[in-house]
Amino acid sequence: MKWLAALALALPAIVSASPQGIDVSNWQGTVNWGAVKANGVQFAYIKATEGTGYKSPSFNSQYIGATNAGLIRGSYHFARPDVSSGATQANYFLANGGGWSADGITLPGALDIEYNPYGATCYGLSASSMVAWITDFSNTYHTKTGRYPVIYTTTDWWKTCTGNASGFQNNNPLWIAHYASAIGELPAGYAYTTFWQFANSGSNGPGDQDLFNGDTAGLQRMAKGS
């Protein structure tokens, strides 16, 4: 299913047709993954790292808990383009939980790149420098794992900080954040999104609420890299 044809659908109709997921960080602490699974959640993204000096203290327990509950899971890195290169941060991510293997239960790592909570809107980078930074992270991750990372962002940030750069759609699955009943406009080049973060809370479990664009078999194929 391509969500191009479903942008105008009401959210409940989309939820009923798509695998549901959550994403969590240290803010959520201990997660009852059994309850999350029982609520119908099939996948999770878990924050592993930020910049080059932070690993979530909850990552290991959250990741193991999701695994033991039988979820397809992956990890994400919060980008800090103001502190080091894309390659440096990709390697830090890989060394601290961001890897991928074709075991059928591991999603490719995700790069969380959004407005800077600590200072300059675009981390002090020009649009061309930001595109180069993301490319550096992506290529480094691909070289080490054979998979390109998912890119998590908002269309507004992408327009503001990359100049609405196109080209990433050729390699990087998109995880769009948009809290509404429809997905809305996507970054340049993307005809559809692979994941949609549609709310920052919900009844399925703690953390943000996500949908996969497809069916369970498609989610499993993505984990396997096939």
Residues tagged active-site: 23, 112, 114
Residues whose CB falls within 8 Å of the CB of residue 83, separated by 6 or more in sequence, listed in order: 51, 52, 53
Q: Cβ atoms within 10 A of the Cβ of 191, count?
A: 10
Nearest Cα to Cα of residue 19 among 225, 223, 216: 216
Provide DSSP, 182-215.
S-----TT-SS-SEEEEES--SSSSSEEEEESS-
Residues 6+ apart with CB under 8 A from 213: 1, 2, 3, 18, 192, 193, 194, 195, 196
Cα–chain-centroid distance for residue 211? 11
In 51-184, beta strands by DSSP E: 54-55, 72-78, 110-112, 150-153, 174-177
For CA atoms 172, 37, 56, 206, the dihedral sign is positive
Phi and psi (nearest 5°) for 42?
Answer: -110, -20
